[in-house]
């Protein structure tokens, strides 16, 4: 009986540490084509003008979410060869997240990230300016997951 209580106590400590943080109240889900991946965005966001992803109304901050059949290693290699990575925010088995050099003069920060999923990876692109706080952009990034 004592070992069961010890196990329950240990799980009560470990499980909250491993769970993804919950999005703030009022946020809504965004899903990839095929609904294999999801993320949370602020509740006032709507479909992007381009038809891909979601964006802040009247602003340029936006996020796109995709499912790719490649691996985490494939995604990392693509980032290294196709983009100018300026900072690795996270490089772990569960998430690869980098900041890219934005286009000159657009005053946007650009992040790309991937998380493993069954049969591939969930990838996200988040671009933001002053219409989205860095804290909210981080919340979007940390909410990306397989469904």
Rounded-to-integer distance, Cα 56 and Cα 131, Å: 7
Q: For residue 14, tell me if it sits in a domain.
A: no
* 8 within domain boundaries: no
Q: What proportions of the chain, in percent to the nearest 5, are helix, strand and coil? A: 30, 35, 35
Q: 2 lies in a domain? A: no
Tokens representing 58 are: 């009247």
Q: What is the chain's mean pLDDT, rounded?
A: 86
In the block, tokens 């490089």 appear at 91
Residue 7 falls inside a structural domain: no
Tell me if 62 is assigned to some domain.
yes
- Please report whether residue 17 resides in a domain: no
Provide the domain count of the chain.
1
Higher confidence at residue 13 or residue 57? Answer: 57
pTM over 0.85? The answer is no
- Per the structure, the complete domain to which residue 135 belongs is given by 24-146
Provide the CATH number for the domain around residue 43.
Answer: 3.40.1000.10
Q: Which tens digits make up the pLDDT trace of 92-136?
A: 999 999 999 976 667 899 999 999 999 999 999 999 999 999 999
């Amino acid at each position: 009986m004592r070992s069961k209580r010890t196990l329950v106590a240990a799980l009560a400590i470990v499980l909250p540490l491993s769970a993804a943080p919950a999005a703030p109240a009022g946020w809504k889900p965004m899903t990839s084509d095929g609904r294999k991946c999801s993320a949370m965005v602020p509740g006032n966001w709507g479909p992007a003008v381009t038809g891909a992803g979601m964006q802040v109304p009247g602003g340029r901050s936006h996020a796109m979410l995709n499912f790719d059949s490649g691996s985490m290693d494939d995604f990392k290699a693509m980032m290294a060869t196709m983009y100018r990575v300026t900072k690795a925010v996270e490089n772990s088995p569960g998430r690869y997240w980098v900041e890219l050099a934005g286009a000159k003069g657009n005053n946007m920060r650009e992040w790309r990230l991937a998380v493993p999923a069954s049969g591939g990876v969930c990838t996200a692109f988040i671009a933001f300016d002053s219409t989205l706080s860095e804290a909210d952009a981080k919340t979007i990034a940390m909410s990306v997951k397989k469904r």
